[in-house]
Amino acid sequence: MKKILYTIVACSGLLGTAQHLGNFNNQAAEMSISRANIATSDSGFVSNAKRMAISQALQPSNVLTLNLRSLYNIEATDYTAVFNINQVGATAEETTQLMNDKINAVKAALKAQGFQGKFATDMISFVPQYEIEVTKKLFSKTYTEVPVGFELQQNLLISYKNDADFEKILTACASNEIFNLVKVDYYVENLQAKYEELQKKILDEVTKKKEFYKALGFDMTTYDVRMADHKYYHMPKDFYKSYQASENISAQALKQKNGITEVRKPQSYYYDAISYDGYDVVINPAITKPVIQLGMDLSLMYVPKPEKPEKPAPVETPKPKVYVISPQGPVDIKQLPNS
């Protein structure tokens, strides 16, 4: 009895620990979700690959390599919601009128609430619809395509600055039978100034690193530097992931004597921003909603300058001499000019 009780307590402890992982399991193969989201004793947040990287021996070198990564989380200053509208009608005039009525109704509903955003439309397609008309004859049938209506498809673009206006936009569109939200684009005013701020932060890190190398005894003036940099810009829509909740048993099964009723597991989505792992600089790290993420990577390589060759010793200018021997035997030595 004690062994059974201990097993139940131990399992309860595992369940309590695993619940902090949420309803999805990052370590499941191909994000397949089930009740296997309960963590085992070896599924900590530090994977085996990371453990190996942490314990891996460093290889000293006289070439100094400096890799810095920086990230800036920025809340958008402007938004654009895109809705797709598909309208059919018996005639071209009727179809166009029905489309305009929907769009004008949305505009009127939002302006009545003090909405200050902008509206635009993007024509996608305007095509006739056909049906097959069957004509019966005495010994045969004839099938003919005949136009029965028109289909008009447009995108409605609504720009706004206040994130709270999005609920008003959704309500106004849904009230007028516009349900297909395609996407929401995020924009930032004065983007170049944000990049310049990020550059200053990463330059401060370079200065700190060089001071660290100097403290270790390296004379940075004796090194040549090579560099490479990279900038990137990520929208929130690029970082939404999908999963299915781990619950897969219906409570209806408890009310039935026989059989189990399977329930539909809806597809869920969540915003998974860029992880800060490996970043040296993160501006505005605490975020409570989807943001635009600006990134800048800088790689510097300091290579020792080649040693200057020693100056050779000065070469004495030769002084040529001529030995003149006369027939009588005496030797006469004469100095020749250098030119």
Phi, psi (deg, nearest 5) at residue 35? -75, 5
Average pLDDT of the residues of the chain: 79
> Strand, coil or helix: what is 116?
coil
**Nearest-10 Cα torsion for 28, 292, 270, 230:** -10
Q: Does residue 30 come out as left (phi exceeding 0), alpha (psi in the -120 to 50 range) or beta?
A: left
Amino acid at 133: E
Model pLDDT, residue 117: 94
137-146: per-residue pLDDT in tens? Answer: 767 777 777 6
Residue 228 near residue 299, CB atoms below 8 Å: yes
Q: Is 334 exposed, middle or buried (0-12, 13-18, 19+ CB in 10 A)?
A: exposed
Residue 293 near residue 234, CB atoms below 8 Å: yes
- Taking each continuous run of H as one helix and of E as one strand, the counts in the chain are 5, 12
CA distance 79 to 122: 17
Describe the strand order of the beta sheet including 64-74 as a list of residue ranges: 223-234, 292-304, 64-74, 281-283
DSSP three-state, residue 289: coil
Helix/strand/coil for 97: helix
Rounded Cα–Cα distance for residues 307 and 231 (Å): 36
CA distance 152 to 181: 17
The full set of domains in the chain, from first to last, is 1-57 (no CATH), 62-76+189-308 (no CATH), 78-187 (3.30.70.2970)
* pLDDT score of 334: 64
Q: In this predicted structure, what is the pLDDT of residue 308? A: 80
320 φ, ψ to 5°?
-65, 140
Q: Output the pTM of the full model.
A: 0.66
| Alpha-helix runs per DSSP H in the chain | 2-18, 48-55, 92-111, 165-175, 191-215
pLDDT, block means (10 residues), the chain with 339 residues: 44 42 46 37 45 68 91 95 94 94 96 95 89 72 77 96 92 95 92 93 94 91 93 90 68 61 73 91 92 94 87 76 69 63
Residue type, 315: V
